[in-house]
Structure 1
Amino acid sequence: MEFDFVIVGAGSAGCVLANRLSADPSVSVAVIEAGGRDASPWIHVPVGYFKTIKDPALNWMYRTEADEGLNGRQLNWPRGKTLGGSSSINGLLYVRGQPQDYDRWRQMGNIGWGWDDLLPLFRRSESWEGGADQLRGDRGELSVSRSRQSWQVVDAWVEAAKAAGFAFNPDYNGASQEGVGYFQLTARNGLRCSSAKAFLKPARSRPNLTVLTHIQVENVELDGSRVVAVRGRRHGSLVRVAARREIILSAGAIGSPQILMLSGIGEPAHLADHGIRPRHTLPGVGQNLQDHLQARPVYRCTAPTINTRTRGLFNQARIGLEYMLSRSGPLTLAASLGTGFLKTRPDLETPDIQFHIQPFSANNPTTDTDDFDAFTASVLQLRPESTGEIRLRSARAEDHPLIHPNYLSTALDQQTIVEGIRMARRICRQGPVADLVTEEHAPGRSVPDEDFDGLLDWARNTATTIYHPTGTCRMGRDKMAVVDERLRVHGLDGLRVADASIMPVIVSGNTNAPAIMIGEKASDLIREDMGA
């Protein structure tokens, strides 16, 4: 098999690339996906992430190594393994981040990656139900809508935050991110809008686009300094797919660095340790791993929540019927409903923490909900300093790499997570949400606000990922950068990376919208280099 362009990974960025590149009928495009078709109904029902996040047919089921910052705990790191990638199993939250994030990328030497450069790409992708203006688009393929859900505890939290002095913000993707309000969703009419549905499905009928599923790419093939093909396995059989022009890795912040290292591209000593012949030295491959860590204060309450409203056959039948008849009700719930982008210190230019307010609670977001009514005021640090790494476990592609997040390894990160917990408490002591709270279930009264070490230790023992791995094929010009500002792998021809792994620093918010933007940017860069 031979094509002009070969895209590895049909995820958030890869589906955009497949659409934009195949729009030119003069080139042939293949997109290779390790998983299968996005046929599961739980992918398309918004609340289905409760199911898909535990399904090995749709999820890579990654797990971190024991992390010192979490008192030696390991975390599950779900990543999508189906058409649409993680956009098919995520919580549907659409957040661009702050303009300052991208201006910082530009200040690091990445020409063309400032906010003014990227805003047109965000606008091009989206179909925002609020209509177009200078900041929002309404003609793109990606449906973005307001939440249709309303839960008393979430509305009360938003009002309490306003009473505590925080401004209401009707559009955190608009002129300013700061404030409290409600999440926007990649959904329309009660159905998920994944990257596969938005970008890949409309292009599937093009004769110059080939979608290859159930192929796990093992490595890329080099001819001198040029990358000419990818090699993988499909049901145990070797598959080789050649590229006349370019190969683009869009396998994500775990998959892309793993493929590079398995190909002999990375830090030579580490590769040699696993019997891999070093072919090209790039010590930054797998380094600079960043993620958002969420602490999850939980409050028992008198108002109804998902915890009890979805229990029992009668309730489940009622909810299912409501969804079938009107595409409404609890089955349309995203991972969170209320949000807040706030500052822990008044001297900050922009918010440094983000809230995810959920009308349910659980010991772990991937387990069943508690058997009492409660809500979660999850809080995370938007710009952590801590960085970790991805390392090979073995030279076998089927062996998941070693994931070392290195959470809470700096004093600023520790201070910020504790201040975020304190802020969550401060809001929840304010009416009207305080009138609904019967007890702080976690951390609980045994850990008072003034006990910094106690709150930090609670976070270390209970905090979990909010599923935003980034940075492991960092864009830049220094010796630890993996790709340049045109997303070309340094020192090699015919190979680019286009996914969240190229972020020099993590964005201030959820990462699906930026990953889609990266796919848009990559397609423009490739077309420019073609002279199109």
Structure 2
Amino acid sequence: MTDMNYDYVIVGGGSAGSVLANRLSESGTRSVLVLEAGRSDYPWDLFIQMPAALTFPSGNPFYDWRYESDPEPFMHGRRIAHARGKVLGGSSSINGMIFQRGNPLDYERWGADPGMENWDFAHCLPYFNRMETVLAADPDDELRGHDGPLVLERGPATNPLFQAFFKAAQEAGYPLTDDVNGYRQEGFAAFDRNVHKGQRLSASRAHLRPNRNRRNLTVLTRALVTKVNFRGNVATGVTFRRNGRTHVVNAGEVILSGGAINTPQLLQLSGVGDAGHLKTLGIRPVVDLPGVGENLQDHLEVYIQHACSQPVSMQPNLDLWRYPLIGLQWLLGRQGPAATNHFEGGGFVRSNEDVAYPNLMFHFLPVAVRYDGQKADAKHGYQVHIGPMYSDARGTLKIKSTDPTVHPSMLFNYLSTDQDRREWIEAIHIARDILGQSALAPFNAGELSPGRDVRTDAEILDWVARDAETALHPSCTAKMGPDSDPMAVVDPSDMSVHGTSGLRVVDASAMPYVTNGNIYAPVMMLAEKAADLIAGRTPLPPLHAEFYRHGTSPLERGGREGLQAGRRAAESETAAAKG
């Protein structure tokens, strides 16, 4: 039955979908429908509102779609679990709440591709700034936002283990930085987090909840979109299931924001993808786009865990008997150990001199626990998460059934390239070097994982293959690019799907390359910029701000410090001449 008509139908109420719903409905002139297949993000749901409870939703079918890869050929045939948010707010309602833009050179890389000129850093920076309020930033810092809906609190990182870790990084030869999202990403610092006043600030809480009373905005949860409907190559709306009934909604524009897994799956189910593959499943191709589901990228990570010799870690808070008191502290005042995500600091480094900007990311925690909540066998402990950031491994995603509830086939090809394997070896050696410095010696009671039996390069790669987990950053499966690129799916000028009309893609699948860091912030930026493109508004003007580039003279490359020094020198010379 057909019972609805909207100007915009947004498929997916996650990170990108929440931004789009806010920005496309704010004028009040266009009707917007958000269809989210998962449940609502109820304010009383402690598992998604309490920051330290982040281990509970992952793997839980109430909150997580529980995707997994095909057997990975370079990881001993393991299937790698991929948690994706099955709730309003999407993965921003279950992730680690780490806010990292990536390096400015990530976007210079985007902008260097044909047709992508308006996605370089200068064109993306205004949208990063528009979406954020950085409480720790200098009000005059042009590289950070000061009045956006995402309020970012910087991790206090006051635990003595954080301070020892930062000193150890310096002892190992790596710098500190003021802000990994600001002028200089390279180095170690406290991290910005999507935690505000002791509570998770998801995309839904920042963009949807404050605007749910708009008359032109409708949000339906538990609404599974099964197909994009076409007349010829023109998208006319979608079909979805809700409460046991099938509905057809007509739309002026259909915007897919289901993420890097669901979006290519839905495109293929709807006849947009590699025609040969679709025909094998009995699907009539609407548009032959072989790039749909290709170019799959992600970050892989491991945990290097140490026992702690002093009673200063957060490890005791993992004891079940402590949960009631910790929970009560949070309920009464949004305070205590439950009010933090514990990812309060870390850093970015280059693993070798061949890379222009950091290719390794560190997250440090004053506790030894895996993302699923499995804790190390130690009374006290600490750990770093480490992994390469721009591997050249590429994977693929293909549907294997016409049933939309059947998860697609996904192969990431982790560890499949020489670059990937080399950088993994470098990553483990660098992490161990930092953790072995004298600043951490008073706390270091020995490595728990991987342990003393993993030393040679071959042993390191074998351990990574057996132990590594996804950092939960799948992306790039419907990449932006011009229609002259046979593998491009999305037009970077307006986010439309090549060969179609009335169909757009706005989420991590549209990224051409995964960025250096957690991808939540880049996805939010992409959605902010896309909202202007879709609504036909004049894009924000580019902001040509200076940022750090390694290995070049600041004066030659526009570095802030060098420019200021040069200006001071020139002023001194002028004053001397006048004197």
* TM-score (normalised: structure 2): 0.88
- For residues 395 and 244 of structure 2, the distance between their equivalents in structure 1, rounded to whole angstroms, comes to 33
Per the TM alignment, residue 184 of structure 1 is displaced from its structure 2 partner at its CA by: 1.0
Structure 1 residues 325 and 232: CA distance shift in structure 2, 3 A: closer
Per the TM alignment, residue 530 of structure 1 is displaced from its structure 2 partner at its CA by: 10
Is 1:20 paired with 2:26?
Answer: no
Is 1:123 paired with 2:145?
Answer: no
Is 1:201 paired with 2:206?
Answer: no
Amino acid at match of 2:348: F
- For residues 539 and 464 of structure 2, the distance between their equivalents in structure 1, rounded to whole angstroms, comes to 52
Per the TM alignment, residue 326 of structure 1 is displaced from its structure 2 partner at its CA by: 3.5
Give the unaligned 5+ runs of structure 1.
none
Per the TM alignment, residue 249 of structure 1 is displaced from its structure 2 partner at its CA by: 0.3
Is 1:414 paired with 2:421?
Answer: yes
Residue 448 of structure 2: aligned partner: 441
* Aligned partner (choices 294, 305, 323) of residue 301 of structure 2: 294
Matched pairs, number: 527
Structure 1 residues 531 and 117: CA distance shift in structure 2, 3 A: closer
For the Cα contact (< 8 Å) 1:172–1:178, is it kept in 2? yes
Per the TM alignment, residue 334 of structure 1 is displaced from its structure 2 partner at its CA by: 1.5
Per the TM alignment, residue 150 of structure 1 is displaced from its structure 2 partner at its CA by: 3.4
* Aligned partner (choices 206, 218, 224) of residue 210 of structure 1: 218
* Aligned partner (choices 499, 511, 536) of residue 503 of structure 1: 511
For the Cα contact (< 8 Å) 1:92–1:335, is it kept in 2? no
For the Cα contact (< 8 Å) 1:119–1:135, is it kept in 2? yes
Is 1:452 paired with 2:460?
Answer: no
Superposition map of 1:235-314 within 5 A: 235-243=243-251, 245-303=252-310, 304-313=312-321
- For residues 225 and 484 of structure 1, the distance between their equivalents in structure 2, rounded to whole angstroms, comes to 15
Residue 95 of structure 1: aligned partner: 100
Per the TM alignment, residue 162 of structure 1 is displaced from its structure 2 partner at its CA by: 1.3
Residue 533 of structure 2: aligned partner: 525
SS at match of 1:385: coil
For the Cα contact (< 8 Å) 1:229–1:241, is it kept in 2? yes
Is 1:343 paired with 2:347?
Answer: no
For the Cα contact (< 8 Å) 1:295–1:417, is it kept in 2? no
Residue 369 of structure 1: aligned partner: 375
After the TM superposition, which of the residue ranges 337-346 and 256-265 deviates more from structure 2?
337-346
Per the TM alignment, residue 287 of structure 1 is displaced from its structure 2 partner at its CA by: 0.5
Residue 165 of structure 1: aligned partner: 173
Per the TM alignment, residue 155 of structure 1 is displaced from its structure 2 partner at its CA by: 2.3
Residue 396 of structure 1: aligned partner: 403
SS at match of 2:536: helix
Structure 1 residues 335 and 13: CA distance shift in structure 2, 3 A: farther
Question: 1:99-155 CA distances to partner (integer Å, 9 max, x unpaired)?
Answer: 111111111121311100010100000011024320111100011111245333232
SS at match of 1:419: helix
For the Cα contact (< 8 Å) 2:296–2:395, is it kept in 1? yes
After the TM superposition, which of the residue ranges 451-460 and 151-160 deviates more from structure 2?
151-160
Give the unaligned 5+ runs of structure 2.
541-579
For the Cα contact (< 8 Å) 2:14–2:204, is it kept in 1? yes
Question: 1:181-215 CA distances to partner (integer Å, 9 max, x unpaired)?
Answer: 22210111101110000011121111011111111
Per the TM alignment, residue 335 of structure 1 is displaced from its structure 2 partner at its CA by: 5.4
Per the TM alignment, residue 437 of structure 1 is displaced from its structure 2 partner at its CA by: 1.1
Residue 174 of structure 1: aligned partner: 182
For the Cα contact (< 8 Å) 2:296–2:474, is it kept in 1? yes
Question: 1:243-292 CA distances to partner (integer Å, 9 max, x unpaired)?
Answer: 0x211100000010000000011011211222212221000000000000
Is 1:74 paired with 2:90?
Answer: no
Question: 1:308-331 CA distances to partner (integer Å, 9 max, x unpaired)?
Answer: 233142x22332233234422221
SS at match of 1:516: helix
For the Cα contact (< 8 Å) 2:533–2:539, is it kept in 1? no
- For residues 2 and 428 of structure 1, the distance between their equivalents in structure 2, rounded to whole angstroms, comes to 58
After the TM superposition, which of the residue ranges 365-374 and 234-243 deviates more from structure 2?
365-374
- For residues 309 and 44 of structure 1, the distance between their equivalents in structure 2, rounded to whole angstroms, comes to 18
After the TM superposition, which of the residue ranges 476-485 and 339-348 deviates more from structure 2?
339-348
For the Cα contact (< 8 Å) 1:149–1:332, is it kept in 2? no
Amino acid at match of 1:119: L
For the Cα contact (< 8 Å) 2:296–2:397, is it kept in 1? yes
Amino acid at match of 2:87: T
* Aligned partner (choices 137, 147, 152) of residue 144 of structure 1: 152
Per the TM alignment, residue 371 of structure 1 is displaced from its structure 2 partner at its CA by: 3.5
Is 1:44 paired with 2:52?
Answer: no
Question: 1:471-523 CA distances to partner (integer Å, 9 max, x unpaired)?
Answer: 00011120001111121100100000000000101001110001111110110
Amino acid at match of 2:57: T
Is 1:32 paired with 2:48?
Answer: no
Question: 1:380-436 CA distances to partner (integer Å, 9 max, x unpaired)?
Answer: 111110010111121100011111111011101101011010001101110221221
For the Cα contact (< 8 Å) 2:532–2:539, is it kept in 1? no
For the Cα contact (< 8 Å) 2:5–2:249, is it kept in 1? yes
For the Cα contact (< 8 Å) 1:154–1:338, is it kept in 2? yes
Amino acid at match of 2:259: G
- For residues 168 and 258 of structure 1, the distance between their equivalents in structure 2, rounded to whole angstroms, comes to 42
After the TM superposition, which of the residue ranges 406-415 and 158-167 deviates more from structure 2?
158-167
Structure 1 residues 214 and 471: CA distance shift in structure 2, 3 A: same
**Higher Rg:** 2
- For residues 221 and 16 of structure 2, the distance between their equivalents in structure 1, rounded to whole angstroms, comes to 16
- For residues 376 and 216 of structure 1, the distance between their equivalents in structure 2, rounded to whole angstroms, comes to 39
* Aligned partner (choices 114, 121, 125) of residue 120 of structure 2: 114
For the Cα contact (< 8 Å) 1:219–1:232, is it kept in 2? yes
RMSD: 1.6
Question: 1:70-93 CA distances to partner (integer Å, 9 max, x unpaired)?
Answer: 111111100111111111110000
Per the TM alignment, residue 347 of structure 1 is displaced from its structure 2 partner at its CA by: 4.1
- For residues 201 and 291 of structure 1, the distance between their equivalents in structure 2, rounded to whole angstroms, comes to 30
Structure 1 residues 355 and 277: CA distance shift in structure 2, 3 A: same
Percent identity reads: 39
Runs of 4+ with >6 A deviation: 529-532
